[in-house]
Structure 1
């Protein structure tokens, strides 16, 4: 996957943040994933061919909602060093493995207002007891698969 997304022939300067590279791309991820012309694919995160993720539309909507809510509630900025300079995350500091992600980096996350902070705290309080020590569901939430909770582990 990492090699596909960093192919310079397909994605010029792939490690450079450049949202405008998608300005003329009006396909949904599903349309792009099903496009027979691989050069029209914008990403391969959800697989390809017969191994294409059947739930990609759910994942995309969930990511959109999560990001929208984070941007609604918080301001994000770079942390400063002792001289007042921004600490810029290293775009090449990535974890190894099947799911590559950025390594942890310092950032400043502040609530946009006390009202929004309280809304986040209230929503967190509703689910906190339903999560284990790693922040994963202890049981599948009611209504997702059946009328009763289904244990995820043993």
Structure 2
């Protein structure tokens, strides 16, 4: 893959992620559950990023026709851990649900098999009187069954 300006790339065992940066503060990476760490290209530097131990489970949802149910997030960072029987690489898109306006695309990541995707600095999507964002995933993975979301 050729790297271009504005592209964020990360990889873990059997996991990859590539996509345009939403903004400099919006960093996306994917990590393998097998080793708990990933290497990430952030601002031109590669570093090791350990998995966080401070995650709060905010809900477990099933996929129906490639779309998960939604959960509330208070912002900062957001993690989705996906269960799938697929072994190929599939895309997972994070969306912010807004009942009054069109849903907003937050970002995306790729997984090869089960694993986690983490979105950093997602606070700009927090809105409304309750101070939360409502997130859900879509995917082209026909075998994705369950996602557990963490805040």
TM-score normalised by L of structure 1: 0.19
Structure having the larger proportion of residues in helix: 1
Structure having the larger proportion of residues in strand: 2
Query: Which structure has the bigger radius of gyration?
Result: 1
TM-score normalised by L of structure 2: 0.20
Q: RCO (CA 8 Å, sep 6+): is it higher in 1 or 2?
A: 2
